[in-house]
Amino acid sequence: MTDNERDDSRRPDPDALLALAEKDRRGKLTVFLGAAPGVGKTYAMLSRARRLKAEGVDVVVGLVETHGRSETAALLEGLDVLPRLEASHRGKALEEFDIDGALARRPRIVLVDELAHSNPEGSRHPKRYQDIEELIAAGIDVWTALNIQHLESLADLVAQITGVTVRERVPDVVLKKADEVVLVDLPPTELIERLKEGKVYLPESASRAVDRFFRLGNLTALRELALRRTADRVDDQMVDYLKQNAIEGPWATGERLLVCVGPDALSEKVLRVASRLASGLNAPWLVVSIERADREVETTERLQRMEALFRLAEQLGAETRRVVGNDFVEEILKLARREHATQIVIGAKRRRGLTRFLSPSLPDSLSRKAAGMGVHFVTPEKAEKAPAAARPSLPAVASYRQSALIAAGLTAVMAVVGKLVYVFAELPNISLLFLLAVLGAAVLGGYVSAFIAAILSALAYNFLFIDPLHTFTITAPHEVFALFVFLSVAIIAGGFASRIKEQAEVARVRATALQSLYDFSRKLSTTATADDAIWVAVSHLQASLKRNIVLLLPDRADLRVAAVWPPDTELDVTDFTAARWTRDKQETAGSGTGTLPNSRFEFRPLMGPHGLVGVCGIQQTEERLDINAERALSAILDQTAIAIDRARLSEESVEQAAKLEGERYREALLSSISHDLRTPLATIMGAVTSLRQLGDRMTSESRDDLLQSIEEEGSRMSRFVSNLLDMTRIESGTLKPKGDWLDVSDVVQAAVERARKYFPGKVIETGIAPDLPLVEGDSVLLGQVLFNLLDNAVKYGGDEPVNVYARKDGGDVLISVTDLGKGIPPSEIDRVFEKFYRRGKPDGRAPGTGLGLSIARGFVEAMGGRIHAESPAVKKRGTRIVIRFPASEKKAGGAK
């Protein structure tokens, strides 16, 4: 072993640490486990509760059944007992555990007796262990009591030992997830003595119990089961501790079971045996069923049976999986190798008749090919009737009568045609016509019809065309051989034809489902918002399943109905409660489930990549969804969840982008204010302070310089505030330019003169073409645009002169401002008109806010013009900003 491998072996198991962290966030479950009623589970639980109560722990009794035992009832004194919930079941008044009262009280520990108890119809959960799971999820510790015979995996074994079938059962996974299992043990002889003394049941019930259930042998066997299961649980806890703390110790053997089941009566026993085997080996196990890929052999009854088996497997703590394939042996072995299974568990039915010799059974084939893996066969009891072999599903024609009519009709037609041909020509291969009848019957009626047609064709061919005619007697041996070959070929050909027809039908059904999913995906891809995706999903589901559909989205702490179809679909209180449960627990609830089954809808969570995005309700009917509908429903719900999540993320992205843009705008604005106001204010304050302190002692030149600085910085502040106001007007849409006819040359000259006053040391050259046409616009805004462009050119043009030109270019009047600075990189040419964009380094003056060119673009576009930048402008350097306005037919000075 290398050093790295040794270090890895000493690291804690991350899965074990995650499981431990998950337990820390939930309440703790303590199960007081006993071999039979009367061993003292409730007594031990109450005694322990009284000790903690005396230590100041908040312990509350949610529900405890004393069964008339005075010594147990005495322990309730001094403990807080929650009021029970009154319920009615079959006309009888019952007192049940109030789960809502316990959740509202939120004690540290709550005692809930009788873990395997079934709740009355109409309760939130059908079983009490589901109530306890909700309490644990809410962070409340729960103590409860359980007899070993109520475990699901032991139900058949207990029935075999005691002769009593236990109706109320608890999934093994509940006990497996318990944080603490307290074994309450009592020798069988003492328990029987307590029973006879009336300390377990009332006297009239005690005698019947001793005769039927409380026998020494039964109690000894149950005690052994309880001790073994408790030992397994202790071993699990020890392994978890070793993994969490990276301690080298007696690790589990690493066994993994693969359990094969099908829709037959033996599979339930296979699951229970496999559960006990996995528990004894402390091994994970995977339950798999295989469906044929070339035919649809599943019926509604078989599908319901498989669903029940998978639910039972999950309750027993197994993973479940469905596999599609034709070669069952290869598929099982392939999955076993992929999942690293060490043992395979499969049911071995008793085969009768010739089937034992004609073809090997699935268990026999597995045992021959499963090299390196153990194969466990589970056989039925002697008293059990061997299950009938699965029959292939009948094809399109539903009844045998119709199949027979099709076969008879086609055979009769071919007999008539053959007789007509035989009249004109005695052909030796006239039997081929009857082969056509068999093939036609296979296509129209399936295998049953093809088989009947083969028999009828053989009889008709013998009766009409084999000597002696019109009898069923055959005299020539070669005719017997020919008839036998014909019958065999007809049956085989009919079988192949019917199989091809079945495969075509299966392919058609699956192609229809795929086309439906494709259509849905295509519709979904065109949706831009979550609402569009929701309505597409709801309408498509209703059209596909022919059931009312409702889709709900989270709305703060509740759910809101986002879409229903048909529009008159309504939800009642029970439906909303089931939907909220699905949202909170992210589990299926409602009709056909273990949570609020009285609801009309089955609610399924829509799980996106980032968690739950909604809840979909499908109204259930007496006819459950078939396997193809289930697959389509799951695929549509998954795609809908992804689409809703994607739309939500898109909306959040847009909002986030707007927030970031706003933040950037505010940061730039604050930066501009802090810089562009602080700098001129500091200059003005310094000049004013100097004038006040020095006064007449200053020379007139110095005083004029200070006054000029005050004037320049004041003008700069004025331009800065004006830019902010102008940008605010542009952003708010309140900018409304005048529509006057402007002489471009006058506006250009005025803007240039204004710039020369602000930048006296800068050379600004102008070139204005004569007889320019007028343009429609606002002289004030256009003057501000030109001044902003000149200000930008002076900042970035260096010592070179700035050129301003105005001329007519086709149907436009073009005005350009050009500097001979470094220019703009091609990658940034389109960004110069963005707010707060600043390029390069200016001429040493403060860079400003970066609003000048953005304001210029806003003003020009508001007046109906266009503006763009060009770089390089002259000899691979410089920048030119070009403005275009539509020219009118009027000339300057009023000429036309």
pLDDT tens per residue across span 713-754: 777 677 666 666 665 665 555 567 777 888 888 889 888 888
**Rounded to whole angstroms, what are the CA distances from 30 to 66, 113, 176, 181, 506?**
19, 11, 11, 6, 51
Check if the beta carbon of residue 815 is closer than 8 Å to that of residue 775. no
> For residue 376, how many other CB atoms are within 10 A of its CB?
17
Higher confidence at residue 141 or residue 433? 141
Average pLDDT over every residue of 297-312: 72
Least confident of 11-25, 112-126, 355-369, 688-702: 11-25
From the list 738, 839, 858, the residue with the least C-alpha distance to 788 is 858
Task: Give the mean pLDDT of 79-94.
Answer: 79
**pLDDT tier, 95 (very low <50, low <70, confident <90, very high otherwise):** confident
The predicted pLDDT at position 143 comes to 93
- 766 neighbors 797 (Cβ within 8 angstroms): no
How far apart are the C-alpha atoms of 62 and 69, rounded to whole Å? 18
From the list 773, 797, 760, 811, the residue with the least C-alpha distance to 881 is: 797
Which domains, from first to last, does the chain contain? 14-245 (3.40.50.300), 257-378 (3.40.50.620), 400-503 (no CATH), 529-656 (3.30.450.40), 737-886 (3.30.565.10)
Rounded to the nearest angstrom, the gap between the alpha carbon of residue 67 and the centroid of all alpha carbons in its chain is: 47
Q: What pLDDT is recorded for position 843?
A: 45
Q: Give exposure, 545-557, as e/b (b: 16+ Cβ within 10 Å).
A: bebbbbbbbeeee
Residue 820 confidence class, pLDDT cut points 50, 70, 90: confident
Q: How confident is the model at residue 644, as a pLDDT?
A: 80
Rounded to whole angstroms, the Cα distance separating 890 from 882 reads 22
Question: What 3-state class would DSSP assign to 323?
Answer: strand
pLDDT value of position 141: 92
* CA pair distance 277, 157, nearest whole angstrom: 13
How large is the greatest C-alpha to C-alpha distance in the chain, in angstroms?
153
Arithmetic mean of pLDDT, 273-287:
84
pLDDT at 394: 40
Q: What pLDDT does 251 receive?
A: 46
- Given a cut of 70, is residue 478 above it in pLDDT? no
Q: Confirm whether pTM is higher than 0.85.
A: no
Contacts of residues 394-402 at CB distance under 8 Å and 24 or more positions apart, as own/partner, are 394/446, 394/448, 395/445, 395/446, 395/447, 395/498, 395/501, 395/502, 395/505, 396/444, 396/445, 396/446, 396/501, 396/505, 397/444, 397/445, 397/446, 397/449, 400/448, 402/445
Residue 111 banded pLDDT, cuts 50, 70, 90: very high
822 Cβ contact partners less than 8 Å away, ≥ 6 residues apart? 796, 798, 840, 877
- DSSP bridge pairs for 604: 616
Query: Which runs of E-coded beta strand occur in 292-400?
Result: 319-324, 343-347, 374-378
CA 840 vs. chain centroid, Å, equals: 50
Pairing relation of β-strands 374-378 and 549-555?
A: unpaired
Amino acid at 533: A
Per-position DSSP letters for 561-610, written without gaps between them: EEEEESTT----HHHHHHHHHHHHH-S-EETTSSS-TTSSEEEEEEEETT
Residue whose C-alpha is closest to residue 643's, from 528, 518, 516: 528
Q: Which pLDDT value is given to residue 679?
A: 65
For residue 553, give the 3-state DSSP assignment: strand
Name the nearest CA neighbour of 835 among 724, 732, 736, 737.
Answer: 724
For 500-559, the pLDDT digits (tens) are 766 676 667 666 666 777 777 777 777 777 788 888 888 888 877 788 888 888 887 788
Residue whose C-alpha is closest to residue 132's, from 108, 166, 97, 83: 97
* DSSP for 174-223, written as a single string: HHHT-SEEEEE---HHHHHHHHHTTSSS-HHHHHHHHHHT--HHHHHHHH
Looking at beta carbons, which pairs linking 192-198 to residues 24 or more positions away fall under 8 Å? Answer: 192/216, 192/219, 194/38, 195/38
Lowest mean pLDDT among 80-84, 389-393, 471-475: 389-393
Lowest-pLDDT choice from 412-416, 829-833, 843-847: 843-847
Pairing of strands 802-809, 812-819: antiparallel
Quick one: pLDDT at residue 144? Answer: 93
What CA–CA distance (Å, rounded) separates 235 from 243?
12
CB 606 within 8 A of CB 637: yes
Scanning the structure block, which residue is given the tokens 């809930």?
Answer: 112
